[in-house]
């Protein structure tokens, strides 16, 4: 069976587990329930040869319910085909089963989503923060987190006041010049 044939028949194979199917630019996305994640992921891995977990990402749809989406990017090395699994999680739930036992790379992805969005993964072997320090009370990729940051009471670890955005090393100036000329490194004094 070829990759496109597999994707075409996948909806029939998984049946009612698929809530919605989206095709866009040759890529297929299946929306599934969070409670079906482990079963669908295991089936995709064992029966359909999706042996490579490319990424797991999350989306904050602030103001909507369910608020969060978790997106799993799968790839089959043997069939050279990509599949995206997407599920929605309400803020009240905020927990999904881990798949780190199926694809070990999920360990770090799930930790990052926990650290940045506050979504938990039940059954994860080591669910702790990966970028922010232990005890940090916020989730920086949530939409209510202010762009300028929040003050910290830990002066040795982070800023003690909100971090400024203007004037940083990679901030460009509005201009009609080309991107190369607006590049901050291009404005540095030349070394002699």
Res 128: pLDDT: 93
- Pair 78, 49: CB distance under 8 Å: yes
182 pLDDT more than 90? no
**Is residue 39 left, alpha or beta, with left meaning phi > 0 and alpha meaning psi from -120 to 50?**
alpha
192 pLDDT more than 60? no
**Mean pLDDT estimate for the chain:** 82
3-state secondary structure of 62: coil
Lowest mean pLDDT among 51-65, 70-84, 102-116, 144-158: 144-158
157 pLDDT more than 70? no
Averaged pLDDT, 108-137: 92
Give the phi and the psi of residue 143 in degrees, each rounded to 5.
-65, -25
11 pLDDT more than 80? no
pLDDT more than 70, % of the chain: 76
36 pLDDT more than 50? yes
Enumerate domains of the chain plus CATH numbers: 10-146 (3.30.460.80)
pTM over 0.75: yes
Lowest mean pLDDT among 42-51, 79-88, 143-152: 143-152
Strand partners, 95: 120
């Amino acid at each position: 069976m070829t990759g496109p044939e597999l994707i075409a028949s996948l909806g029939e194979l998984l049946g009612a587990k698929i809530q919605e199917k989206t095709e866009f630019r040759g890529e297929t996305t299946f929306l599934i329930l969070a409670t079906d994640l482990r079963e669908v992921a295991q089936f995709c891995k064992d029966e359909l040869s999706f042996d490579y977990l490319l990424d797991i990402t999350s989306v904050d749809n602030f103001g909507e319910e369910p608020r969060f989406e978790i997106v799993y990017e799968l790839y089959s090395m043997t069939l050279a085909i990509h599949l995206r699994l997407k599920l929605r999680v309400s803020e009240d739930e905020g927990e999904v089963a881990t798949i780190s036992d199926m694809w070990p790379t999920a360990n770090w992805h799930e930790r990052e989503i926990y650290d940045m969005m506050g979504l938990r993964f039940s059954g994860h072997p080591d669910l702790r923060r990966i970028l922010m320090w232990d005890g940090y009370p916020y989730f920086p990729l949530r939409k209510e987190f202010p762009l300028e940051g929040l003050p910290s009471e830990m002066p040795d670890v982070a800023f003690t006041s909100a971090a400024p955005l203007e004037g940083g090393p990679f901030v460009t100036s509005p201009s009609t010049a080309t991107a190369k000329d607006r590049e901050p490194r291009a404005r540095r004094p030349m070394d002699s």
